[in-house]
Structure 1
Amino acid sequence: MNPSPHPIDLVIFDCDGVLVDSEGITGRVFADMLRELGADVDDHDLSGRCVGRSTADSLTIAADLLGRPLPPGFDSRYGERSRAALAQQVTLVAGVGSMLDAIDLPCAIASNGLRVKMAITLQVTGLLPRFDGRWFGIDDVEHGKPAPDIYLLAAKTFGARPEHCVVVEDSPTGIAAGRAAGMTVLGYAGGLSLERLVEAGADYVFDDMAHLPALLDALRRIAPVASAG
């Protein structure tokens, strides 16, 4: 017997790499600053290590690569330089504008980024009015991803049942958070391969934002959004 149609109460998007094309920009700033300290780092390798992680976690990774503690004030200087670069360079991920126009479901954003950075990327890309009051950063919760806190906060804020929420993520860290929250997780292969997202636990994967509205419609019509356990 086919499962009954199941509603989707809320679609929750990660921000960096899913809605805004920011990770390459901040990654270059991060790598440049580490090279200035004498570290031999590759932009692509560093990005792969840090994708989906909080700034605090990325700073720990950077210190390990450098082989010594980061100098005092490194984190604040990185924040200033990365925000300045984002204000000048950030754009929407390809196809996001049309995709959002085609979705007739409640949407929110939940990111491991700080709200001060998110305010810049959402403003510059024109998403801030669309998601007014519907975006959350790591400073809104006690534990960032891979803990489920931020996704559960979004669901609670809008009265959505976690098992009827869909998360759109592009990193293993975010996928783990969505699964821990008991939500269906769609993996967007913007930077990582489809295979890696499947290995990380994504329930479904896609590589073109134009496909997301149809995927959500299919989930809503023909299958339960998530199952217990």
Structure 2
Amino acid sequence: MPLPYQLIIFDCDGVLVDSERITNTVFVKMLNELGLPLKLEDMFEQFVGHSMEQCMSKITAMLGQEPPAEFLADYRLRTKAALENELVVVVGIPEVLAQLTLPYCVASSGDHEKMRTTLGVTGLWSKFEGRIFSVTDVNAPKPAPDVFLHAAATMGFAPADCVVVEDTPTGVRAALAAGMTVLAYAALTPAQRLRDAGAHIIFGDMLELPALLAGGKPDRIAS
């Protein structure tokens, strides 16, 4: 029986690479250094899934002024070092990619430089090279659908024939806005938040993904 989709679009951070805790640990430490009394759980609640531009706007609002001019460059240097030392692939992803028979790509809120680091460190770069799409390629970040629509158009598929694997409410809303089916990976984000965002299916083990992809398009959101 033919599979119900023609293209699989993966988010990157938290879906392909286990980077969210690493980058957000650096992020919250730097925000603490600026005097913002935030904790790691605040990062997942307020920042994860958003573009860096959106995050910087949030920080400016919290501080009442723009952060120091060197903040962003320092953050990138510190996260790059942390990722190179600590990053691993999401458990199950190598096995999943080895089983896939459909075309697949990655569409992320991160920039290309970050993905070169994360996909390179984990050995996934060769699996996605030439099929890597960033928020920096489009006009509007998630939850706007732009990056997913750009990925689908570039790969040559209609949105209705695409399935997105996401792990944040922001990403789920973006994929839904693009008219795509959304399978939400509930690793660090509570399943209820993904459900509230409208994910069609929620799963907690990446090794479940091939069977979910073969199971047919869901006709309603997760209950």
TM-score band, normalised by the shorter chain? over 0.9
1:55 to 43, 52, 56: 52
Give the whole-Å Cα distance in 2 for the aligned partners of 1:154 and 1:69: 33
Q: How does 1:151-162 map to 2 (within 5 A)?
A: 151-162=148-159
Whether the aligned pair in 2 keeps the contact of 1:29 and 1:81 (CA below 8 Å) is yes
- Establish whether residue 170 from structure 1 lines up as the match of residue 171 from structure 2: no
CA contact (8 A) 1:184 1:225 kept: no
Partner residue, 2:135: 138
Asked whether the 8 Å contact 1:10–1:105 carries over to 2, the reply is yes
CA drift of 1:132 comes to 1.4
2:95 alignment counterpart: 98
Residue identity over aligned pairs, in percent, reads 47
Cα shift at 1:81: 1.2
- Match of residue 122, structure 1, among 116, 119, 135: 119
Instruction: Name which of 75, 82, 87 aligns with 2:84.
Output: 87
1:9 aligns with 2:22: no
Which residue identity is paired with 1:115?
Answer: H
Distance 1:55 1:68, change over 3 A: same
SS at match of 1:19: coil
**C-alpha distance in 1, partners of 2:60/2:197?**
26
- Structure 2: runs of 5+ lacking an equivalent: none
What SS does structure 1 have at the residue aligned with 2:42? helix
> Which has the higher mean CA deviation after the structures are superposed, 63-72 or 200-209?
63-72
Q: Under a length normalisation based on structure 1, what TM-score does the superposition of the two structures give?
A: 0.91
For 1:160 and 1:92, locate their aligned partners in 2 and report how far apart those are by CA, in whole Å.
27
CA–CA separation in structure 2 for the residues paired with 1:130 and 1:189: 23
C-alpha distance 107-5 of structure 1, shift in aligned 2 (>3 A): closer
Q: Distance in 1 between matches of 2:42 and 2:72?
A: 20
1:195 matched to 2:181: no
Q: Report the CA distance between 1:224 and its aligned residue.
A: 7.1
Cα contact 1:163–1:225 (8 A) shared by 2: no
